[in-house]
Amino acid sequence: MVKRIFKSLLRFDCFSIGTTSSKKYFPEEILVDVLMRFTVKSLVRFKCVSKSWKTLISDEYFKGKHRNHAKNNKKNLVSRMVVDVGIGHWDYSCCLSSPSSSAQPLQKLGCPSNHKSYVILCCCDGLSLLRCHSVCYLLWNLSTNEFSDTTGRTTTYGLGYDSISDDYKILMVASTARPPNRIKLLGWHLFMLHFIGSSEGIIHHPSILSLHLIYQMRPHGEISLPELKHRRCDFRCVVSAFDEMFCVYSTCQDDGETETLKLWVMKEYGVNETWTQLCTIRGPHLLLAKPLFTIPKYMFAEGEVLLGFCTGGFRTSKGAYELFTEYHGRKV
């Protein structure tokens, strides 16, 4: 239906361009080819250009094109919350393409909703999962400032994109036995979301969103964890950082202050044999605020993994990673 209206609009020179000699028109496919290169901010603004642009930009077919284009031209954005007079300010920064470059501040974004206080749990494709208080979770699209809330009770969580169902999923760990060797997963499926943008930590491919979040709680069953020899190991689950791969990490306290962090990915979801150790990082103070979060955020092209600490700051296996060298003349 939308498609038909859109097509009929096209017939009436809505995408016309004037020249000295005569009026000419950008055919639909060329206009899409140009528009899909825009940022979300520009697209949202350009809904105001005319009725036909508004229809085109809101069209599912266009959103798909935009998302794929963004996916193939990966640009990573990093954002960071700077608390300012009781109001959280988000700063977008770009561009994170190698472990040796640092980001530059890009733009500011305000608070989601009227929640004054929240913690970013994880991010995927510019979609961010926040915890506002103990049981309230907020899913936030940073590019468009649209959000949706849900409740749950858990200590570990993950947000990821599942290409098979073309769907984002929030996975939560229902319970862990100690010593943990199996975990029970609960999850919300989020249907038909296309999100764009950015996150604390890392953004993957910007894409564009459709607004309807449909939650469906489903048990995901149990998953066996990879075997560990060290008895004092602790497992945490994260699915957000590595596209479509379920990921957990184990942390062990060695002698003294030295700690070891091992990152595992399940290459094929649900198949225990596909647990693969991705990297091992050894050093002091890896787990800063134990037993809380040290979260694998992103894997660079060269295989280097970026870890984010819940207390702020990032590191790779090579050492500290400065994302923000300077901001408004001061270090952050």
In the bound complex, what is the minimum distance in angstroms from residue 39's beta carbon to another protein? 7
In the bound complex, what is the minimum distance in angstroms from residue 40's beta carbon to another protein? 8
Contact partners, residue 298, CB within 8 Å, separation at least 6: 76, 96, 201, 202, 241, 305, 306
In the bound complex, what is the minimum distance in angstroms from residue 145's beta carbon to another protein? 7
In the bound complex, what is the minimum distance in angstroms from residue 149's beta carbon to another protein? 19
What residue ranges bind another protein (CB under 8 A)? 14-20, 23-24, 26-27, 29-30, 33-35, 37-39, 41-42, 44-51, 53-54, 107, 109-110, 144-145
Nearer to another protein, 39 or 316 (CB): 39
Q: What is the DSSP letter of 15?
A: T
The pairing of beta strand 167-176 with beta strand 77-84: unpaired
Distance, CA of 169 to CA of 125 (rounded, Å): 12
Rounded to 5 degrees, what are φ and ψ at 125? 50, 40
In the bound complex, what is the minimum distance in angstroms from residue 50's beta carbon to another protein? 5
Nearer to another protein, 18 or 319 (CB): 18
Nearer to another protein, 94 or 288 (CB): 94
3-state secondary structure of 61: helix
Nearer to another protein, 82 or 228 (CB): 82
Distance, CA of 243 to CA of 213 (rounded, Å): 20
3-state secondary structure of 68: helix
Nearer to another protein, 53 or 62 (CB): 53
